Amino acid sequence: MPARAVIFDLDGTLLDTLEDLADAGNNTLAALGYPIHPVDSYRQFVGDGVATLVRRALPDGAQHDFDRALARMREEYAVHWKVKTKPYEGITEMLDGLAAKGIPLCVLSNKPDTFCQLTMEHFFPGWPWAAVVGESEKYPRKPDPAGAKAISEKLGIAPGDFLFLGDSPMDMLCALGAGMTPVGATWGFREKATLEAAGGKIFIDRPQELLQIIQYHSHKKTL
């Protein structure tokens, strides 16, 4: 199981976006006259795109207001996306270590592609990203493996040579669907047990541990 490249999820894996998402979501709910949620509740709302987040945040009896809520959520998040968001501790050091080893770095996110590109340019301008892919008409949301497969084809690296680091069941399922090795980030938005249930088999508690996994698999390939 060699590891020659890495795909990262974005929210909950590279970036702690929870508070900004919660602020945008709660501002949306309050503006429409609905109850707001504790910030921690948004851990269960995120991961499947903004539309699903809005559906989960709305009360059961308010789904008729979905279109209005989605439009307002997009307006709110356009203002809040970089207020409290920051890379998780250890992420920059991990990226430096991988880049120093010549490991291609890629991102596959369920954020809309244009916003995914903007986010990466703002928070991670200093690294040589081989591919950054968000949701679009061409690449649907994870767990659909189309985006992961497209990255594999672009880099000319076989899917089996990728590690896919993410914090949600969608990441684990996407990796498996693409023929990649899923690695669960336990510092993110979901519990380890949830990732295990989705097929995750390798888990790390700190970003720097990914370097050890890369070294292990690279060494294993040469044996």
Does 96 qualify as catalytic in the annotation? no
d(CA 185, CA 187): 6
Q: Is 196 left (phi over 0), alpha (psi -120 to 50) or beta?
A: alpha
Q: Are 175 and 149 in contact (CB under 8 A)?
A: no
Handedness of CA 169, 43, 24, 118 (dihedral sign): negative
SS3 of residue 136 by DSSP: coil
Spot the catalytic one: 9, 23, 161, 167. 9
Across 61-180, the runs of DSSP E, i.e. the strands, are 86-87, 105-112, 129-135, 162-166
Residue-wise burial string across 169-178, b where 16 or more C-beta atoms lie within 10 A, e elsewhere: bbbbbbbbbb
Tokens of 68: 């209005």
Q: Which residues pair with 11 in a beta bridge?
A: 15
The helix-helix angle for 50-57 and 66-80 (nearest 10°) equals 120
- The contacts of residue 6 (CB under 8 Å, 6+ apart) are 98, 103, 104, 105, 106, 162, 163, 164, 165, 210, 214
Catalytic residues: 9
